[in-house]
Structure 1
Amino acid sequence: MKTLLITLAIISLCAAENIKCTEQQKKAEACTYEYEPVCGVKVDQTSLYIQSKETYGNKCSACATEGVEFYAVGKCEEYPENAVFCHPDISSQQLGCTREYYPVCGYFDESIKCRKAPCGSNYSNKCAACINKEVNYYLNGFC
């Protein structure tokens, strides 16, 4: 049973994606009480990579909270504490990355099917990881 729970937790880490809050969601005046937890992410104005995370009962509650820009499916506690989520805008707006070498391990969303979880790949820096639209979050250092 313990092995099954660990396996499901690892699979859930590979099955997430980051979803940007729409303007309509940000203006919601009331949300339902459905419990489908998400990890809401607030981004520091100086860098997309400086974040604060909090678990919300559902995506409506997260997006209606001032400062939350995007969310990942599941509780924040389901992700590594030091995970930095890739902002959904990065892969669509970024044309290139610097050549600085600060290795990170990028973890993939559900579009990548893993043979062995967790699903990660090494990148030369955080930008190189997040410009890949399939990367959900990264951890500093090698995989």
Structure 2
Amino acid sequence: MNKFAIVFAIIMTVCAASNIKCTEKQKQAIACTYEYEPVCGVKLDEKSQYIQKYSTYGNKCQACGEEGVEFYAVGECQNYPENAIFCHPEAYLQPGCTRELNPVCGYFDESFSCSNSVCSSNYSNRCSACINQEVSYVLQGFCQ
């Protein structure tokens, strides 16, 4: 019974994840199918983790097979604001955040039940937003 509970918890965590990290196996894929289930693949700039480059790929296999793609968000990149900064899927593992005030608006993923059509929240900085696993991406400044 305990094994079932553990497996179920893992599956629920993966299904609820807002952004998904590419596994080493996915990065080494030799061939991918052509099924169209678009994802927005995110590459981190080599010099700064705060600069991201992203492109739409036909599916997660194609995204993760592309050199430099670290993680992806479900859907086409065009579905997200142009200046969105995606939260790294492992950001919640950080031991803590600084207290710097650099306001961002964190937007929740589809696993979050929005109240009164509000699917975002203000945070003091990017770190404090992204350690919340329900936040998919942030925009600079306070929520409108």
TM-score, normalised to structure 2, is 0.84
Give the alignment's Cα RMSD to 1 decimal: 1.5
- What is the rounded CA distance, in whole Å, between the counterparts of 2:102 and 2:34 in structure 1? 42
For the 8 Å contact 1:48–1:87, the answer to whether it is kept is no
What SS does structure 1 have at the residue aligned with 2:90?
A: helix
**Identity fraction in percent:** 70
For the 8 Å contact 1:16–1:73, the answer to whether it is kept is no
Question: Which residue is equivalent to 1:9?
Answer: none
Deviation digits for residues 35-59 of structure 1 (CA, Å, limit 9, x no counterpart): 0000000011333321001000000
Question: How far is the alpha carbon of 1:134 from its aligned partner?
Answer: 1.1
Question: How far is the alpha carbon of 1:138 from its aligned partner?
Answer: 0.3
For structure 1, list consecutive stretches of 5 or more residues without a partner in the other structure. Answer: 1-14
For the 8 Å contact 1:31–1:60, the answer to whether it is kept is yes
Question: Which residue is equivalent to 1:100?
Answer: 100
1:111 and 2:111 are equivalent in the alignment: yes
Letter in 1 for 2:101: Y
TM-score, normalised to structure 1, is 0.85
Letter in 2 for 1:74: G
Question: Which residue is equivalent to 1:78?
Answer: 79
Classify 1:118/1:34 alpha carbon distance in 2 versus 1 (closer, same or farther; 3 Å).
Answer: farther
- What is the rounded CA distance, in whole Å, between the counterparts of 2:102 and 2:78 in structure 1? 25
What SS does structure 2 have at the residue aligned with 1:54?
A: strand
For the 8 Å contact 2:17–2:89, the answer to whether it is kept is no
- What is the rounded CA distance, in whole Å, between the counterparts of 2:18 and 2:83 in structure 1? 17
Query: How many corresponding residue pairs?
Result: 128
Question: How far is the alpha carbon of 1:73 from its aligned partner?
Answer: 0.3
What SS does structure 2 have at the residue aligned with 1:88?
A: coil
For the 8 Å contact 2:18–2:133, the answer to whether it is kept is no
1:132 and 2:101 are equivalent in the alignment: no
1:29 and 2:30 are equivalent in the alignment: yes
